[in-house]
Structure 1
């Protein structure tokens, strides 16, 4: 089997980074030098993803009534708009990555000229969408991005994932990449978590799904040259 690797950089956006991000991940900006080094390598396909929400998105605490509208604390049950018997519980967040705002922009220090394609996600106000592939509903799925098609059409075999945040959008993007049949690796030093204590649970999910967390000097990355 040929080795045809892709790099997926998840949500390295202003709102996920200090000092002014509305949902800033501690150390979020610190991953950029490594991400840029990775972007300089000859991956077959290099994709950056963006959370890109409408102002009335269901995940925003501001769009729910008190008392169940505290960012980071409250959660809500979302019904599949195409099948109300299927539900998902999701945490509520501060407004973030709203379309047309500075917070939705990729970091200016990110070497965007090396990126082949930007994939936007989270535009459907009715569903949460951590994964850059699709929302979590399965019966049926409500909102899909073009990411899977881009990777499959290019003949990609291996997906390397970096970005923000390790316990949310990176996590579910990596799990969906594995579901799509790609050998999937998460580059640990090129991610940061909202809640680092949640990473034990994430690693268990990765193990079950066949996703590997690697270091920046892993042998598999030395093959991208």
Structure 2
């Protein structure tokens, strides 16, 4: 897909295209994760105000890892995380195997991605006490904690519109897109540049409806 150029005040957000999220060796690989790279590279070659990639950048004792919760099982058990500054605000999340640990190969962006065209890399999930699917930071709002600085960067660059692609469509892409729209950006997700964990039609339809309910435009295609 070719978007019109030039792209005044428009940003491309590339979510978590990391080794641990891609086959064949990723600790939390999304099926077909590498397959979207050529399309993302085509987008990178277009004219944008700014091109930003995000990374999960976890300490080895991150709260979302099942091995930090005795008796829990990765991909089966869940845990309720509290806002460190307001215990009444909570987030219940699935527990994961260790992934994207700082300083490991799994944390790095995949080699196929044309990183020479990426202007900034935003690291998320660095605070071991909270989970951050979104590139903007954890879901806690009252008060916000461990924000990544992505919103400030976009506003500093004068961005009004955002296109979001990457992994995983139904987790970090979704949460980033919703936060972007909630922050007032005109937000679009292009499915050809995304891969979901749940790739069946029913799950994708539900995901599209959820995004659209948050005023995110979804351009249909491969997912």
* Matched residue, 1:118: 121
**Matched ranges for 1:28-47 at <5 A:** 28-47=33-52
Shift of 1:208: 1.2
* Matched residue, 2:77: 74
CA RMSD of aligned residues (A): 1.2
Supply the distance in 1 between the matched residues of 2:96 and 2:81 (Cα, whole angstroms): 14
2:159 aligns to what SS in structure 1?
coil
TM-score, normalised via structure 2 length: 0.93
User: Does 2:5 align with 1:20?
Assistant: no
* Matched residue, 1:100: 103
* Matched residue, 1:4: 9
* Matched residue, 1:135: 138
Query: Cα deviations across residues 101-131 of structure 1 (Å, max 9, x unaligned)?
Result: 0000000111000000011000000011000
1:140 aligns to what SS in structure 2?
coil
Instruction: Name stretches of at least 5 consecutive residues in structure 1 with no aligned partner.
Output: 217-225
* Matched residue, 1:169: 172
Shift of 1:140: 1.0
* Matched residue, 1:210: 215
* Matched residue, 1:222: none
- How many residues are treated as equivalent by the alignment? 213
1:35 aligns to what SS in structure 2?
helix
Supply the distance in 1 between the matched residues of 2:186 and 2:94 (Cα, whole angstroms): 29
* Matched residue, 2:4: none
Contact 2:212 2:218 in 1 (8 A): no
Shift of 1:215: 4.8
Contact 2:124 2:132 in 1 (8 A): yes
TM-score, normalised via structure 1 length: 0.92
Supply the distance in 2 between the matched residues of 1:77 and 1:150 (Cα, whole angstroms): 30
2:169 aligns to what SS in structure 1?
coil
* Matched residue, 2:55: 50
> Structure 1 residue runs of 4+, over 6 Å off?
none
* Matched residue, 2:188: 185
Supply the distance in 1 between the matched residues of 2:220 and 2:213 (Cα, whole angstroms): 20
Supply the distance in 2 between the matched residues of 1:129 and 1:81 (Cα, whole angstroms): 14
